[in-house]
Chain A
Amino acid sequence: MSRVEVTIPAMLATLVGEERTFQVDGETVRDVLHELCVRHPELRVHLFDEIGALRPHVSVFHDDRTVHDLDASVADGARIVVLQAVSGGVASRE
């Protein structure tokens, strides 16, 4: 089991008392994110969709590299950063 540092975007931090950085235990990126969501269940719906997949416009970086496989192992002391992808906008809200 590794202990890693997880940072979330400011918009999500507003939901969990403005805290942005967490020390979380896990063996994979997925473990770490799920553990974070256990600690702060408000985050789950914002990171994962109805089938448990990472939302398409949420980007995750593991030691400054884009995560393509949530089941990648994490080492003790690793850093995971969750970001809003450079995307978004809305077509219409009429």
Chain B
Amino acid sequence: MSSAAIRWGDDTVEARTTTALAIGTMKGAWIAWSDDSVDWQLDGPYLKGWQVTTFGRAADGSHLLATGSSWFGAAIHRSTDLEQWDQVVAGPAFDEADGRKLEQVWTFADSGERLLAGVAEAALFTSDDSGETWSVVAGLDAHPTRKQWEPGLGGLAAHRVLVDTSNPQRMWTGISAVGVFATEDGGETWELRNEGVEVTSPSDGGDIGYCVHALVAHPDDADTIWRQDHRGVYRTDDGGVSWERIERGLPGAGFGFPIDRDAASGALFVVPLESDQYRMPVDGQFAVYRSTDDGDSWHRCEATADSYTSVLRDAMATDCRGGVYIGTTGGEVIHSPDGGDGWIGLPWRFPRILSTHVLPVA
């Protein structure tokens, strides 16, 4: 790989490397750079001491990261140079009369028309000015089941947003422990789409209680979505109208948190855990499983004996060139440069890793 320029809006600066891997931890963010996936250089920490819960990018080219703190709450920060991060003053916030509190920003998504943020307590916020100001997506709040939503262990969180790039009016969001919702009208109305998924916490308040953990969509077919759920791994080919279980070859009960797809090879990756009770690697072996047939079957492609670490739902990333990056709760980053055939560890130990994202390089 050759070095390249990174473009932020109208500014182009010479990048040191091709790959920029953002690592969000319990105690700040770091960015690891490499031009050959072998030698890495590390910058950071940024937002030292803050939980860095996710990363994103706005339409104007600025980079985003979200911070949290047990003391000081959640906020969004923007950067045009990946060095100076400025807090957004008018970030996502619930009205005083609403009763909800902004506990954490879990995810960003850029629809091409607007920027979205999924947060806990579960809601979506949208920004039409690349993250300077935000307003709540009222249509999701108006869902008739809203008052019956209950949290999972990680909170009541809208932690993933998928957008149909061919029609940004179509979106999906995963909310734990409620389920997957879809909109066909840009967020005005939402419907539950969980048919075929085993419910986690049955509710008297409607067909909710599905503890979706992570979602990833096919880049060329938004109706094909893979889902790591509390109850297992699923796929839909009709935009979530129906789901089928896809666990052939996986150990344990299909429990896990992240799921991601390498656009270069089409391979899918999950990290199975023993069960929802233990949440530890099966048989004490941290293992990554790969599917090269859209989830029909899975095979172990990386394993570390006597390793009891885990991976959180936002801590697996791909770079669309075959690179797969996994940040563990033990603070390690393991990396495959070739779609999962071989794996190496980055030469640093971080605090508990909450998120890993490959930053766009143009």
Contact = CB atoms under 8 A, between A and B. Distances in A.
Determine if chain A interacts with chain B: yes
Interface of A: 10-12, 14-15, 41-42, 45-47, 49-52, 55, 57-58, 84-85, 87-94
Contacts of A46: 69, 71-73, 75
B49, B72, B257, B313, most chain A CB atoms within 10 A = B72
A93 B154 contact: yes
Nearest to B154: A94
Q: Taking chain A's interface residues, is the majority helix, strand, or loop, or is none over half, making it mixed?
A: loop
A3 B100 CA distance: 35
Interface string B43-77: 00001111101000000000000000111111100
B102 to A, nearest CB: 7
A45 B153 contact: no
Contacts of A90: 26, 51, 70
B132 to A, nearest CB: 13
9 contacts: A11-B49, A45-B73, A45-B91, A49-B73, A55-B72, A88-B69, A90-B51, A92-B153, A94-B312
Nearest to B101: A50
Given A46-B71, A50-B98, A58-B72, 18 more contacts: A12-B72, A41-B89, A46-B73, A46-B75, A50-B94, A50-B102, A55-B71, A57-B70, A57-B71, A90-B51, A92-B154, A92-B155, A93-B53, A93-B154, A94-B154, A94-B257, A94-B279, A94-B313
B361 interface: no
